[in-house]
Chain A
Amino acid sequence: MPALGSDMEAGTLVEWLKHPGDTVKRGDIIAVVDTQKGAIEIEVFEDGVLENALVTPGEKVPVGTVLATIRGAGVAPAPAPPQRVTPLARKVAADLGVDLRQIVGTGADGAVTREDVERAAPGPKAVATATPPVSAPRAIDMRAAIAAAMTRSKREIPHYYLSLTIDMAASLAWLRAENEKRPVTERILPAVLLIKAVALGLKEVPDLNGFWIDGGFQRGAGIHVGCAIALRGGGLVAPALHDADTLNLATLMQRLADLVARARAGALKSSELSDPTITVTNLGDQGVDAAFGIIYPPQVALVGFGRIVDRASTVAGAVAARPLMTATLSGDHRATDGHQGSVFLAAIDRLLQHPEAL
């Protein structure tokens, strides 16, 4: 059971989409798990053959529980090692009608214990949790998950906050001309330029891209920009746009539209929730000037964008009405200082002055 965010403690298996004996490859969806954030599709991260499904639909298990075993591609089926089973476990298995061959032991030397057998047995608890949750408890669960993550963030992360006003005239003019050429189905939103500028800025300041884990900073393997998406009726998820620095604006727009649609329909993938390396929150649509966000642990930074609005500004010594936007950075002081944060916001500003290069 993967941790789909630092606030998740357990998940309920809804169904298996692959079954023992099926060939699976990296990226395949093998199961659906119900969490506080809705139904999530679980992906595999290696090629091989699904050997054993160890959790049954309806079962709620803690994060870290082995859901299934996968035999690697090109590896012959392992000769079954002599299975160690405690005598009590053998008796309980017989009583409950559990197939011992389907169980991976957690006792000494991998021995199957009574607890392992009981966990594998379809008990009354499993039947009870198989009832599909209704939306009201889901909303309450999601509030609890957000509260837990944000409380942890405020308790553990020494935040610092920076803000920078960015002139958006160049970006908006370029986007207007670009969208005039595009059919309605291929138009690009300003948010896509902002996400791309964040992704490219992180290449220049990689210390803001990653995780604070076990007392140290771990740089992200890629630039996976978590996009805060408000759900109708309340709640929030921030799934990742993977490798945002490598995607052109048209592709990024398609991915963002798909991500928002799936977030609101409750059909996100496990990797999208587990591996964002930074979060971007764009509250400009709601009309606020600036958003000072709370970092989503274990990430170390969050970028906020406010609305783009015409204001008086000086250009070449003369006052003019310019479309201005406030960008903010919430940084984790354990990982970076205001200096790096300033360099990063300045990079976003510079990148947005040359939208054609994004």
Chain B
Amino acid sequence: MTPDEIKLVIVDALRRIAPEVDAGTIDPRAPLRDHLDLDSMDFLNFVLALHGRLGIDIPEADYARLSTLDGAVAYLASKGAAAVPKPT
């Protein structure tokens, strides 16, 4: 997957939790939890959604690397999101 495709998956996962999220208005370097007002249950659901879409196991110790949109794209790419076929 390209970084742009990973980004689409991330934004889609965020919109399931915060439907008002608009891809264009997310500051790629802002902390997502504060920026989008996510609580710990929301963040767990975000991780679950990424796990479901990308098949990547995300250990709790790595949660900090998902804290911004840019960080999450880089982290998921490094975990091999590119190797997973895009679900239809």
A176 touches B40 (CB 8 A): no
Listed stretches A36-44, A89-97, A185-193; interface member: A185-193
Is B47's CB within 8 Å of the partner chain A?
Answer: yes
The CB with the most chain B CB atoms within 10 A, among A179, A230, A232, A256, is that of A232
Contact between chains at B20 and A187 (CB < 8 Å):
no
Instruction: State the interface size on chain A (CB cutoff 8 A).
Output: 18
The contact of B58 among A184, A189, A191, A285, by CB within 8 Å, is A184
Interface of B: prevailing SS:
helix
B39 proximal to A (CB < 8 A): yes
Is A189 in contact with B60, judged by CB distance below 8 angstroms?
no
Interface size for B (C-beta < 8 A) is 18
* CB contact list, B13-49 vs A, under 8 A: 18-20, 33, 37, 39-41, 44-45, 47-48
Complex CA–CA separation, A19 to B60 (angstroms): 48
Q: Which residue in A183, A187, A230 is a CB contact (below 8 Å) of B44? A: A187
- A232 CA / B37 CA spacing, docked (Å): 9
| B40 & A185 in contact (Cβ 8 Å cutoff) | no
B5 contacts the other chain (Cβ, under 8 Å)?
Answer: no
**Neighbour of A184 across the interface among B40, B41, B51, CB < 8 A:** B51
User: Does B59 count as interface, using CB distance less than 8 angstroms?
Assistant: yes
| Distance to closest chain B CB from A63 (angstroms) | 31
Q: What residues of B have a CB within 8 angstroms of the CB of A260 in the complex?
A: 41
Chain B residues with CB below 8 A from A191, complex form: 40-41
> What 10 A-B pairs come out closest when comparing CB atoms?
A285-B39, A179-B60, A184-B51, A260-B41, A285-B40, A189-B40, A184-B47, A184-B58, A184-B48, A232-B18
Partner of A180 from B20, B47, B60 at Cβ < 8 Å: B60
Complex Cα–Cα for A191 and B37 (A) = 17
In the complex, the answer to whether A187 meets B40 with C-beta atoms within 8 Å is no
B59 touches A189 (CB 8 A): no
Across the interface, do B57 and A184 meet the contact criterion of CB distance under 8 Å? yes
| Shortest distance between the CB of B64 and any CB in chain A (Å) | 13
Cβ-defined contact, B57 with A183, below 8 A? yes
CB distance from B25 to the nearest CB of A (A): 16
Which residues of chain B come closer than 8 Å to A256, judged between CB atoms? 41
The CA of A286 and the CA of B58, in the complex, are separated in Å by 24
Chain B residue nearest to A176 (CB atoms) is: B60
Set of chain B residues within 8 Å of A176, measured between Cβ atoms: 60-61
> Using Cβ atoms and an 8 Å threshold, which residues of chain B touch A184?
47-48, 51, 57-58
